[in-house]
């Protein structure tokens, strides 16, 4: 498992750090575009495809035109030059089959996964 941090997320020593925000822990799973063998996962647009399939699963359910945008619970991103998909744990509570699909996709394709949580930016001083 790789060690990495970014402005909003942190993962230390293979243990997810949880942060309490508005009485709610926001936790996510990062599906990384690299296999356990260290090979880059192909095709190169796999993250966009996965998130496109997951687009109907969103707060309030599918809406007209919602297939044209990504779900806030499943978002493609690049972290340190590596394609990743961030899957929010709220998806598990609302649509467990959709959560299972995303996690099974990663497992079936031997992709590395990491749990993390949202760390809000510190307040700016006036």
Q: For residues 26 and 5, which has the higher predicted lDDT (pLDDT)?
A: 26
2 in a structural domain: no
Per-residue pLDDT of 62-103, as tens digits, reads 777 777 789 999 999 998 899 999 999 999 999 999 999 999
Counting the structural domains of the chain, the total is 1
Judge whether 124 lies within some domain: no
| pLDDT in the model for residue 100 | 95
Question: Residue 21's pLDDT is what?
Answer: 40
CB 9 within 8 A of CB 118: yes
Boundaries of domain holding 85? 9-59+67-118
In three-state secondary structure terms, 91 is helix
**What average pLDDT does the segment 52-56 reach?**
92
Q: What is the CATH number of the domain that holds 107?
A: 3.30.70.2340
Q: Is residue 3 part of a domain?
A: no
Pairing of strands 15-16, 27-35: unpaired
Residue 1 maps to a domain: no
Does 40 fall in a domain? Answer: yes
């Amino acid at each position: 498992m790789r060690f990495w941090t970014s402005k909003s997320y942190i993962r230390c020593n293979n243990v997810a750090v949880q942060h309490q925000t508005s009485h709610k822990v926001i936790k996510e799973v990062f599906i990384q575009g690299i296999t356990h063998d260290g090979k880059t996962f192909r095709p190169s647009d796999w993250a966009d495809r996965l998130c496109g399939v997951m687009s109907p699963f969103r707060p309030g359910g599918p809406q007209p035109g919602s297939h044209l945008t990504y779900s806030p619970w499943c978002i493609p991103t690049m972290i340190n030059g590596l394609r990743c998909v961030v899957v929010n744990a709220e998806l598990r509570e609302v649509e467990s089959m959709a959560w299972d699909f995303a996690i099974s996709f990663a497992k079936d394709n031997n992709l590395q996964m990491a749990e993390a949580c949202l760390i809000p930016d510190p307040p700016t001083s006036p």
